[in-house]
Amino acid sequence: MRNLLTCIAGAAVAVLLAGGAQAGEITAYTSLEEDDVRIYLEAFNKAHPDIEVNVLRLSTGDLGARILAEKANPQHDIIWGWAVTQMADPRILEMTEPYKPPGIDAMQTKFKDPENRWFATTGYFAAFCVNNVVLDQLGLPMPASWQDLLNPVYQGHVVMPNPASSGTGYLMIASILQMKGEEEGWKFLEELDKNIAQYIKSGSKPCRAAAAGEFAIGASFAFSAVKMILDGNPITLVIPSEGAGYEMEVSALMKTSDNKEDVKKFMDWLLTPEAAVLYGQRSEMSVVPGAVPTPEVLAAGIPADVATVLYDMDFEWSAQNKDRILAEWTARLDR
């Protein structure tokens, strides 16, 4: 099996897109983390060694822009593990074809499209990656909430994702605006901006920057912190006490695919017990039965019941207002 994983447009992508889908070969567009993609595909390959999965991986916002740019001639067979607030774009949905994998009827309604155009497998939620060593060196208190990050002592010591490119960044902005209402929410974000050193393109890079000691606090998604902790970095995972905004990662079949039979085999595998075990090891939350966090993941700070820490997101609002919110964020806060 050849798994081509690339994060930038260029020669490698040109090779990936050359020709079209053939029997035994599919192309997936995804925003899942690169190391997760490799692990999932290795497991899929064991179950279906006759199917090659070519992958283009981009950040959430960048992937949406690419899909829309290719709308007249889609170059992929499946969208795999992409933010539901992006998938809900009517221009994207009209490119998809309904499909019901085995076992999907048992899934809760809110985790699948009523017209069967997409379904969720995993999700991610906002969290802070706090470097304990840097915090001690600077004499800073451990934050427990978004509100805490307004403390002037954190000025220049916090990084977070840029919502224009990062799904994690957008869920943070959207959740704060939903929690506080737009008027107070924008005031809060402008106050928070005074302490932000950088807005980073990726959702995971703020955590990696904190783990490297470049900053005290990286606002990221929870499992990014878990990975840093399991790798031995001096990181504490902090879930904001106001409730963590979250996203669901969903998948959809493209109606223009030339190899729907193999795409459906891949989509079926995403809901298998074998995949669920991996979700428990590599994701902070999953809606697939059997996806149970490992003891190591729980010890790193992921709650056994993540529902207890999540903010009740209005995904429809997030999707419908995305362009407007991002335009306003860019006008107010982008650097």
Distance from C-alpha of 199 to C-alpha of 212, rounded to nearest angstrom: 17
| pLDDT given at position 334 | 87
**Number of folded domains in the chain?**
2
Question: Do residues 49 and 286 make contact, with C-beta atoms less than 8 angstroms apart?
Answer: no
What band does 106 get if pLDDT is binned at 50, 70 and 90?
confident
Average pLDDT over residues 253-262: 97
In the prediction, which pLDDT does 110 show?
87
Question: Do 51 and 152 fall within a single domain?
Answer: no
- Measured CA to CA, the distance from residue 239 to residue 145 in angstroms comes to 7
Rounded to an integer, the average pLDDT of 6-32 is: 59
What gap in Å lies between CA 270 and CA 32, rounded to an integer?
13
Q: What is the mean pLDDT of residues 92-106?
A: 95
Q: What is the pLDDT of residues 280-301, one digit of tens each?
A: 999 999 999 899 999 999 999 9
**Residue 293 and residue 308 in one domain:** no
Same domain assignment for residues 140 and 238: yes
The number of beta carbons lying within 10 Å of the beta carbon of residue 333 is 17
Q: How confident is the model at residue 15 (pLDDT cuts 50, 70, 90)?
A: very low
Containing domain of residue 108, as a range? 5-123+247-299
Q: Tell how strand 96-97 and strand 246-254 pair up.
A: antiparallel
Counting every residue written for the chain, the total comes to 335
Residues 83 and 116 in one domain: yes
Question: Average pLDDT for residues 49-57, to the nearest whole number?
Answer: 97
Position 196 scores a pLDDT of: 98
Same domain assignment for residues 195 and 311: yes
Q: Is the pLDDT of residue 245 over 80?
A: yes
- Same domain (yes/no): 153, 174: yes
| Nearest by Cα to 88 from 330, 332, 317 | 317
- Mean pLDDT within 103-124: 94
**pLDDT tier at 4, thresholds 50, 70, 90:** very low
Split at pLDDT 50, 70, 90, the class of 22 is low
209 and 157 in contact (C-beta within 8 Å)? no
**pLDDT > 50? residue 51:** yes
> Quick check: 92 pLDDT over 80?
yes
Specify the pLDDT at position 108: 87
Q: Domain with 73 in it: what CATH number?
A: 3.40.190.10
If asked whether residues 22 and 147 sit together in one domain, one would say no
Please enumerate in sequence order all residues whose Cβ is within 8 A of that of 322, keeping only pairs 6 or more positions apart, or say none.
85, 86, 89, 170, 174
Q: What pLDDT, on a 0 to 100 scale, did the predictor assign at position 29?
A: 98
Q: Using 50, 70 and 90 to split pLDDT, how confident is the model at 2?
A: very low
SS (H, E, C) the chain: CCCCEECCCCHHHHHHHCCCCCCCEEEEEECCCHHHHHHHHHHHHHHCCCCEEEEEECCHHHHHHHHHHCCCCCCCCEEEEEEHHHHCCHHHHCCEECCCCCCHHHCCHHHECCCCCCEEEEEEEEEEEEEHHHHHHHCCCCCCCCHHHHCHHHCCCEEEECCCCCHHHHHHHHHHHHHHCHHHHHHHHHHHHCCEEEEECCCCHHHHHHHCCCCCEEEEEHHHHHHHHHCCCCEEEECCCCCECEEEEEEEEECCCCCHHHHHHHHHHCCCHHHHHHHHHHCCEECCCCCCCCHHHHHCCCCCCHHHCECCCCHHHHHHCHHHHHHHHHHHHCC
Q: Cα 32 vs. chain centroid, distance in angstroms?
A: 6
Interval 268-281: pLDDT, tens = 999 999 999 999 99
Residue 115, pLDDT above cutoff 80: yes
Give per-residue pLDDT as tens, 159-180. Answer: 999 999 899 999 999 999 999 9
Whether residue 284 sits in one domain with residue 223: no
On whether both 52 and 106 belong to a single domain, the answer is yes
> Tokens in use for 26?
């599919």
Mean pLDDT of the chain: 92
Average pLDDT for 60-77: 95
pTM (predicted TM-score): 0.86
Q: Are residues 118 and 162 located together in one domain of the fold?
A: no
Q: How far apart are CA 154 and CA 221, in angstroms?
A: 20
Q: Which amino acid is at 298?
A: L
User: pLDDT-derived band of residue 102, with 50, 70 and 90 as boundaries?
Assistant: very high
Q: Over the stretch 172-212, which tens digit does the pLDDT of each residue have? A: 999 999 999 999 999 999 999 999 999 999 999 999 999 99
The reported pLDDT for the residue numbered 83 is 94
Residue whose pair of structure tokens reads 């590599």 in the numeric block = 282
Do 197 and 262 sit in the same domain of this protein? no
| Whether residue 180 sits in one domain with residue 85 | no
pLDDT at residue number 335 = 80
